[in-house]
Amino acid sequence: MSSSETVETISRLIVELKPEVAEKVKGEARLQSEIGLTSVEIIDLVIAAEDEFEIEIPDDDTGELMDATVMDLARKVETLVHG
Amino acid sequence: MSSAPEIPLTLPDILARASETCGNRGLIFVDEDERRFTWTEIEAQAQRVAAGFQNLDGKPGDRVAIVCQGLRPLVTSFFGAVLAGLYPSILPTPINRRRLQGYLAHIGSIVRVAEPRFVVVDEDVELVGEPLMKEAGLEGTACAVRHDELIAASGRFDPYKPDPDEIAVIQFTSGSTSSPRGVVLPHRCIVANVQAIVERLEVAPGDVGGGWLPMYHDMGLIGNLLGATARSIDLVLTTPFNFLRRPRRWLDVMERHNVSITAGPNVSYRHLLERGEPLGRDLGSWRVAIIGAEPVDAELLAAFTETFGRVGFPRSGFMPAYGLAEVGLMVTGVRAQEEYQTVDVDREALEGEGIARPPSDGSNRVRIVSCGVPVRETSVRIVDEHGEQVADGRIGEISIAGSSVMREYFNDSQATAETLRDGWLMTGDLGYTQDEQLFVTGRKKELIIFDGRNYYPQDIERAVHGLELVRPGSVVAFGTSNGRSEGVVVVAAPRNPQHTEGIDERVRAVVSETLNLPVLDVILLESGRIPRTTSGKLCRGRCRDLYEEGKLA
């Protein structure tokens, strides 16, 4: 899977989770301070991504993803998918 | 061992009684080893922590800020401070240890108000102790100490017997970033509320509490921890992060330990409903699910009761409740064993006239959940803007009197005077009563809540005023909610109406940088078109109403 596809899939998961932020979802946008996801919603997103990609994201990484960008999350997913 | 009095009046009495009566019951930390840490062991460990404070010359009345990741050090630091007569405040730990800036600014502002002698940390968050004191300007007066160092420093414990009217805890509300408020709760108040809670819940020795709320929150500390202490029952605990991260594992834990009582806001039950995969389990022990901390979502209650009912959750399981840190925790709650009730009222009458009346045919209706009746020694009165009590069915500000109302806000006489009037606590929340039952409809204060943190619109407006492109005095911020989540809207007048390019991005950036708060929407209006009162003051409530009706543009 190419990185743009991963970003696309994650963007879709975000919009499913919180439709009202759809316009703000971009690869370089920060999940919390720019897109406006709460910490609960970010953890929800991590669980949804785990289910979607059939991976397990370690807890330490989840903490660091709290104000990551969509791209950061996509990179994390890819290292786990390919790793 | 000295026997505790018949009705304990202080926290040390409550802990002593738990220690004597618990048998093998205690706290079970599911993220650590799931071994029971009995109330007797907790008291013994807390005495060692207390002796550690005394050995470091801690005196009754000294404040203690507790910043611990591990539940075991957190709980024993809390009780240790109490046993030595020090005033504990439990504060949040950082979520992301690599990005501490926002955390230090927020929590540092609380530490500045608390002026603690000690900041107790544990190994996991040791790195925040010194920076927090620096941020609060307390270098040289406070000392950061690790929980295990306190225990190592302990010598003989000299028991301290507080008077029931002495301060037990200073509970910080999630407060605005610029003005955190420390709720001063004497032993007598906190114990009164804890007793009222366990009575309303009809807690029996065989009950098992299950908790995922943070201990810096009143529901986590007073509802879960002290409620369990007061009846010396088992309490199974996880952290908020682990609860959210592994909802299915939490339901495994509830099954394994026969958890019968839980407490949380809407979002936690919604999380279990959407991600917990309850079917196929046996949750028949689950007896009471307290739900509160925000207006309770009627649709969620119905959906949750339906789905979890298939695995043993009773129809009378939900206990919608209303409360706030300024009374310890609980003000009203539906009685245990009773089913929660909802009423449908006419939306226009509710929002336009402030009256709750049945909907006329075909009209727009809104469903409100009853938060039950006041707990013992507590009175609720709904008042209008002049402080006069209003009739049943009329919306006004919820005010409270009773034995558990706080003494004051710590070192903040102005906030105290605004909040405590003639023995009544003005909550800033709106609601109405009907036959003793309380219905909560919203907030009077223009407080914006995002991600569990409170923001005052003034702080957001001040940040935006700093932008050159924006006209001074013509910025309004307010929160809007779609029922599930809140967002911040900023209305601003451009300094030059021909020059609007880039303002939207700049507003978002400055609010995000200064307050770490995302902006949902930016609306640019000419200054004259921003709603104002007759005296020219900006009208945030009016702006919000127009925005939500789609008429603000």
- The predicted-structure confidence for B129-161, as pLDDT tens digits, reads as follows 999 999 999 988 999 999 999 999 888 999 999
ipTM of the complex: 0.82
CB contact under 8 A, B244 and A43: yes
Nearest-CB residue to A33 (from B244, B487, B512): B512
Reported as a single tens digit per residue, the pLDDT across B21-75 is: 999 999 999 988 888 999 999 999 999 999 999 999 999 999 999 999 999 999 9
Buried b (16+ CB within 10 A) or exposed e, B87-123: bbbbbbbbbbbeebebbbebbbbbbebbbbbbbbbbe
Cross-chain residue pair A38–B97, CB shorter than 8 Å: no
Backbone angles phi, psi at B8, to 5 degrees: -65, 140
Locate all alpha helices (DSSP H) within B127-246, ordered by sequence: 129-135, 147-152, 187-201, 218, 227-231, 240-245
Closest-CA residue of A relative to B452 is: A38
Report angle CA B337, B343, B345 to the nearest 5 degrees: 165
Q: Identify the CA nearest to B364 among candidates B352, B373, B376, B377.
A: B352
Q: Mutation test of the interface with chain B: which of A14, A30, A32, A45, choosing the one with the most B Cβ atoms within 10 A?
A: A32
Q: What is the distance in angstroms between the Cα of A83 and the nearest Cα belonging to chain B?
A: 22
């069915």: which residue's tokens? B393
Facing A62 at nearest CB: one of B245, B275, B518: B245
Contacts of B420 (CB under 8 A, 6+ apart): B405, B406, B408, B426
B97 lies within 8 A of chain A by CB = yes
- State the nearest Cα–Cα gap between B228 and chain A, in angstroms: 26
Closest partner CB to B267 (pick from A35, A40, A59)? A40
| pLDDT of B528 higher than 70 | yes
Question: Which among B202, B165, B180 has a CA at the least distance from the CA of B325?
Answer: B180
Host domain of residue A8: 3-82
CA of A78 vs chain B CAs: smallest distance (Å): 20
Q: How confident is the model at residue B455 (pLDDT cuts 50, 70, 90)?
A: confident
Does residue B520 register a pLDDT over 50?
yes
How far A60 CA sits from the closest chain B CA (Å)? 9
| pLDDT above 70 for B398 | yes
Query: What pLDDT digit, counting tens, does each position of B181-226 carry?
Result: 999 999 999 999 999 999 999 999 999 999 999 999 999 999 999 9
Let me know: does B84 contact B64? Beta carbons within 8 Å: no
Closest by CA position to B210, among listed B249, B246, B250, B247 = B250
pLDDT of residue B465: 86
Confidence tier at A2 by pLDDT (50, 70, 90): low
Tokens 């619109």, located at residue: B457
Enumerate domains of chain B plus CATH numbers.
Answer: 11-162 (3.40.50.980), 208-276+283-443 (3.40.50.12780), 448-548 (3.30.300.30)
B517 touches chain A (CB under 8 A): yes
The total number of structural domains that make up chain A? 1
| Alpha carbon distance B409, B338 (integer Å) | 35
Measure B95 CA to nearest chain A CA, in Å: 6
Q: Which residues on neighbouring strands pair with residue B315, listed in sequence order?
A: none
pLDDT for residue B5 is more than 50: no
Cβ contacts (< 8 Å) between B97 and chain A: which residues?
63
State whether residue B144 is helix, strand or coil.
Answer: strand
- On whether the CB atoms of residues B209 and B238 are closer than 8 A, the answer is no
Q: For residues B55 and B474, what is the distance between their CA atoms, to the nearest angstrom?
A: 56
Distances (CA, A) of B221 to B286, B318, B340: 21, 20, 25
Give the A-side interface with B, CB within 8 Å: 18, 20-21, 30, 32-36, 38-41, 43-44, 46-47, 59, 62-64, 66-67
Nearest CA-CA distance, residue B439 and chain A, Å: 27
The label of the residue with tokens 């009374």 reads B327
Q: Tell me whether residues A40 and B271 touch, CB distance under 8 A.
A: yes
Q: What percent of chain B has pLDDT over 90?
A: 69
Query: CATH number for the domain including A8?
Result: 1.10.1200.10
- Tell me what pLDDT residue B197 has: 97
Quote the DSSP letter at residue B11: H
The residue to which tokens 């399981």 are assigned = B317
Q: Are B231 and B206 in contact (CB under 8 A)?
A: no
Structure confidence at residue B217 (pLDDT):
92
**H or E stretch covering B380:** strand B378-383
Residue A51: strand, helix, or coil: helix
Q: Which residues of A touch B451 (CB under 8 A)?
A: 32, 38-40
Tell how strand B234-237 and strand B208-211 pair up.
parallel
**B275 lies within 8 A of chain A by CB:** yes
Q: Does B386 touch chain A (CB under 8 A)?
A: no
